[in-house]
Amino acid sequence: MENSLKKTALYDVCLKAGGKMVDFHGWLLPVQYESIIAEHNAVRQAAGVFDVSHMGQVFFEGPDAYKFLQTVGTNNFKNIPAKGTYSHVVNEQGGVIDDVIAFCLAADKFLVVVNSATRFKDFEWFKLQAKNFNVKVTDSSDDYSMVALQGPKSLDILEALDKDIKSLPRFNIKSAKIFGADCYITRTGYTGEDGVEIMGPAQTVIKLFEWSVANGFKPCGLGARDVLRLEAGYLLSGSDMDESKTPFEASCGWVVKFNKAEDFIGKKALLAQKERGVEKKWTGFVLTGAGIAREGCKIFKDGKEIGVLTSATYSPLFKCICAGYAPADMKEGDEAEIEVRGRKIAAKAVKMPFYKNKV
């Protein structure tokens, strides 16, 4: 089984650092090193480093690159060099194929970072839609490794490698030399804390991972990442959203810009849904009774099943937090129950994100 799984270029250094490997969408990645709680606390209080080399990098190049991006994504992208935009890529029915971040490298060149679970599907979708555009779509994912360096002290530490790193605005990208190699640095984050992602050649990113661990970053795995991203209210592609859900159902209606100049795929379906409203939407809950819920647990209200959880975990800050699809009219503070192994545990609906930092 393990022989059929893919390994990132950082597999050996993650293993050497104590990483316990698990299957994540066909990739062997560390679920934890020391412990999920210790790694969570490191990112919230200091700095942590994640191997995210399984993520994909797709380039759009050509005279129609911007126009094409506007057509395949729901948000209004920025064609200003260095600027990045979070968006959903949807099908004709408005279902979410993936959520992506697109960075403008030049007027005719964009880097789109995609999720590993949908990398190949995304690429095939882009190629299909690009037939009537003067644009070249290239999946360069195998050319890059990538680490996420997150936490309130991360940029302080990284100034030793790039003295200008703090001048990079949020959701921007820049090119930089790291250990003599050309790399991209982005300042986004999937944890709710400040930090950057660095993409570059495998050997350079391996060296960067080792350097970061030696200089104050705690190596962190998928377990901590899942707690951090749910606290911050971020969706997990393939679990919290897929082609059966729209951005409005996923509580991300803000990424749909109907007023942009270009028509986009799924616009008609999403416009109709916005006008009629959604029946269910992604909603956050905290357990007020003792217990830990998991993905797939059913949600009840007044004895009636009303939905199912798509994410759930133990948070060192908030105890058991979870999110799932529940009636759209559910309000903050509404009482509910989460069924865990046949036992219903008291819960209440909350406004997400559970955790919000000033980043």
Q: Rounded mean pLDDT of 157-178?
A: 98
Q: Do 214 and 256 form a contact (C-beta atoms < 8 A)?
A: no
Can you give the pLDDT at residue 159?
A: 98
Rounded Cα gap, residues 180 and 188, in angstroms: 23
Task: Give start and end residues of each alpha helix (H) in 9-168.
Answer: 11-16, 36-45, 65-72, 119-129, 154-158
What is the per-residue pLDDT for 2? Answer: 55
Q: In the numeric block, which tokens belong to residue 332?
A: 């903050």
Q: Over the stretch 335-349, which tens digit does the pLDDT of each residue have? A: 999 999 999 999 999
pLDDT band at residue 1 under the 50/70/90 scheme: very low
pLDDT by residue (tens digit) across 236-284?
999 999 999 999 999 999 999 999 989 999 999 999 999 999 999 999 9
List, for residues 124-153, the tens digit of each pLDDT value. 999 999 999 999 999 999 999 999 999 999
Q: What is d(CA 42, CA 217) in angstroms, rounded to the nearest whole number?
A: 8
Residue 349 pLDDT = 98
pLDDT tens string 299-319: 999 999 999 999 999 999 999
Q: What is the mean pLDDT of residues 219-232?
A: 98
Strand spans (E) along the chain: 6-7, 20-24, 27-32, 48-51, 56-61, 84-90, 96-106, 109-114, 136-139, 145-150, 173-178, 181-186, 195-200, 218-220, 280-287, 298-301, 304-315, 319-327, 335-340, 343-350
Alpha-carbon span 98 to 223, nearest angstrom: 21
CA distance 255 to 140: 26
- Percent over 70 (pLDDT), the chain: 99
Q: Specify the pLDDT at position 270.
A: 98
> Is this structure's pTM higher than 0.85?
yes
CA 221 – CA 289 distance, rounded (Å): 28
β-pair type (20-24, 27-32): antiparallel
Helices in 89-147 by DSSP H: which ranges?
A: 119-129
Q: What is residue 146's predicted lDDT score, i.e. its pLDDT? A: 98
Model pLDDT for residues 53-99, shown as the tens digit of each residue: 999 999 999 999 999 999 999 999 999 999 999 999 999 999 999 99
Nearest to 180 by CA among 150, 211, 141: 211
C-alpha angle with apex 316: 311 to 317, nearest 5 degrees? 90
201 preceded by cis ω (within 30°)? no
Confidence of residue 358 (pLDDT cuts 50, 70, 90): confident
Residue 4's pLDDT band, with cuts at 50, 70 and 90, is: confident
pLDDT of residue 3: 66
| Overall size of the chain counted in residues | 359
**Which region among 1-15, 74-88, 205-219 has the lowest average model confidence (pLDDT)?**
1-15
- Across the chain, which distance is largest between two alpha carbons, in Å? 62
Ordered alpha helix ranges (H), 23-96: 36-45, 65-72
pLDDT of residue 340: 96
